[in-house]
Structure 1
Amino acid sequence: MGTIAAGRSAVVIRHLDIAHLGSFDDLLRERGYEITTIDACDLSPDSVEMIDADLVVVLGGDMGAYQTDEYGYLVDELDLLARRLENEKPTLGLCLGAQLIAHALGGRASKGKSVVIGFRDVNLTEAGRDSPLRHFAGVPVMQWHGDSFRLPAGATRLASSADYSNEAFRLGDYALAVQFHPELTGTMYEEWIAQGTAELARHGIDAAELLEQRDRYAEQMEQAARAMLGEWLDTL
């Protein structure tokens, strides 16, 4: 077992009820983190808990990091993230969260060339193979997004895929961002599929095939994700 972070605070920024911490919740609690979840729409410029927390986890959502006109609260979230990251405070971004980290630091998120849904392979860079992402070598990861981003200044690319060149990056040892969903459990995946039937139909994606992928890959991904998060937490 890794280092117990007794009394440390973890603030989780949520953008969608069904996009929660998933399998990461138990591990953070095992490591002694006290978790506070804040809905992104409730953030304000005065949300100092997002600046001061020992750890911030920014979750996924169904909007783009660049959609600040449609989702005005993203302006405050991006500003808070920039302030936090300028102070090199530990931050983990998952899917939209990764895009927001990149966007906050000038990497610029944008609509992607294709929608990617389902378990896909990612290709680790040399830096990725020497990072906590090494646990995903040969392990398909769950994707559900149609956006991308440019790497911000100072970032190190950790993974790419056949669809997108930026699948994961780090900033020093204090920030880790992944475009996929390592936190996803099999149960969450089933719920996302049930609530995403219209989107799946729009893109010609077979829900039954996605469920078959879950049966083949979800447990393996969960194990790799837990190992990844645990190793990263040990560096903080």
Structure 2
Amino acid sequence: MAKRALILRHVEYEGAAGYRAPIEAAGYALEWQAADSADFAGGVLDSADLLIVMGGPMGVYETGSHPWIVPEVAAIGRRMAAGLPTLGICLGSQMIAAALGARVYPGPAREVGFAPLHLTPAGAASPLAALAGTEVLHWHGDTFTLPEGAVRLASTEGYCNQAFAVGPRVLALQFHAEMGEDPRFDIWLEEGRDYVASAGQTADRLVEDHRRLGPPAVAAGRRMIADWLGGL
């Protein structure tokens, strides 16, 4: 019987994208759950063999507007405490950080566009080695303190915590190496028009960079995820 991978969505247009292929190749059957309709008090997150917590435009601290955030963070924490494999992407990485006791807060500036990562020595010895020298998509404005017990894997000029791991079973990625070939990028641009402008970017530049830099970013991201899954 295939293992189950649950993709927890905060907005409908963010999915596994380029990561889907290595997840399925590792023997997982994919399922989806919308965060705002999940029963986090139950075992919805514990029942999956792999959890992928996706991104979204909201902040972890916006609990008044999104009452499901508090129970989601608590459920992620219970899952990690049980030693179950958990992958977080962008908002998902911030949810993992919050579940581990870190503070999540607005960063110094919104970081939008393709840029390389600076790997730490631990990052260069991790699955993130696949991303060395590759420009990946960034689309975030929040950051977090490094959780206790976590190992920093990557940074950029503006954000010191771009990726971290807690043992072999928890991987948190602030960036989007999964995005580079997905046609839903057009929805990102439409939904985030003001966000893009506030970061000093233009849709035309992002479209061109997505066309030129996206495919190698996705290829590297797939190698990273395959390596991480192989080490579980």
TM-score, with length taken from structure 1: 0.94
Matched, 1:161 2:156: yes
Counterpart position of 1:77: 72
State the aligned residue count: 231
CA distance in 1, matches of 2:185, 2:169: 29
Deviations 1:173-200 (A, max 9, x none): 0100010012113323233113322322
Matched, 1:64 2:59: yes
Counterpart position of 1:93: 88
CA distance in 2, matches of 1:99, 1:62: 12
Matched, 1:192 2:192: no
Deviations 1:51-89 (A, max 9, x none): 121110000001011211221101110010010111121
TM-score, with length taken from structure 2: 0.95
* 1:43-62 alignment runs, 5 A limit: 43-62=38-57
Counterpart position of 1:27: 22
The answer on whether the counterparts of 1:66 and 1:103 sit within 8 Å (CA) in structure 2 is no
Calculate the aligned-residue CA RMSD, in Å: 1.3
Q: CA deviation at 1:32?
A: 1.8
Matched, 1:220 2:211: no
CA distance in 2, matches of 1:80, 1:188: 29
Unmatched 5+ stretches in structure 1: 1-5
* 1:84-123 alignment runs, 5 A limit: 84-123=79-118
Percent identity of equivalent pairs: 37
The answer on whether the counterparts of 1:43 and 1:76 sit within 8 Å (CA) in structure 2 is no
* 1:198-213 alignment runs, 5 A limit: 198-213=194-209
The answer on whether the counterparts of 2:41 and 2:71 sit within 8 Å (CA) in structure 1 is no
Give the secondary-structure state (helix, strand or coil) at the position aligned to 1:164.
coil
Q: CA deviation at 1:30?
A: 2.5
Deviations 1:29-68 (A, max 9, x none): 2222121111000122333130121110000001011211
CA distance in 2, matches of 1:47, 1:39: 15
Counterpart position of 2:227: 231
Q: CA deviation at 1:17?
A: 1.0
